[in-house]
Amino acid sequence: MPKQAKGISRKEIVETLWTGGEWVVKRGRLIPGRGRPRKEGHLFRYVAEKLPFDSLPAVAKYMKEEAEHLEGVYLAHDSMGAARYGGRGAIFTRLASHKKNYPKELLYYSFYIIENKAHEREIETAILRAAGPQMVLNTRKVASGLHPGNIGDYEPDTEFFERQGVRGRKSRLKKQNSN
């Protein structure tokens, strides 16, 4: 067996959950690499990225049998892999609903079940803001262009930096540029 790089996790495939067309969905886990043990727990309990929507029933069935917590952050992707819808909550119910509403637009899905549910809202906000204007099917927390979103979308007691426009008289330079 080849030597594992320090601190790098390795994959352990446990089983095949679904097979269809050109894709196979396998379930596995990451085995911690050698090195110092972690001082903190992990952020995500389960992660799935860009799985074909046809696999949703098989993955949902497995998760309902094995996991106690089926809420988290989810994304629905188009044929090019771009996230077009996202949110948080009951992952499999919401994804099935979005696929039903947009059967031709959405081909893949991703989900992230967060170990500490208190962080779901913040992770959802960060993901949706990073996706920006490509989230054409969900615009509630997405600001297009250079406009920031609402800082209130994050958890209370979070320290923040916020860009604000200058109030009062316009500077001469701005006045000259606007003419």
Amino acid residing at 41: G
Kindly provide the b/e burial profile for residues 128-147, where b requires at least 16 CB atoms within 10 angstroms of the residue's own CB: beebeeebebbeebbeeeee
Q: Where are any strands of DSSP class E within the chain?
A: 10-20, 23-31, 44-52, 71-77, 83-90, 108-114
Confidence (pTM):
0.76
Q: Which two tokens stand for residue 130?
A: 């990073």
Can you tell me whether residue 151 is helix, strand or coil? Answer: helix
| Cβ density class 76-113: b for 16+ within 10 Å, e for less | bbbeeeebbbbbbeebbebbbebbeeeeebbbbbbbbb
For every one of its 179 residues, what pLDDT tens digit does the chain have, with 9 covering 90 and above? 455 555 678 889 999 999 998 999 999 988 887 776 766 777 888 999 999 999 999 999 999 998 877 899 999 999 999 899 999 999 999 999 999 999 999 999 999 998 888 888 889 888 888 877 777 655 555 555 555 566 676 667 767 777 677 887 665 555 555 55
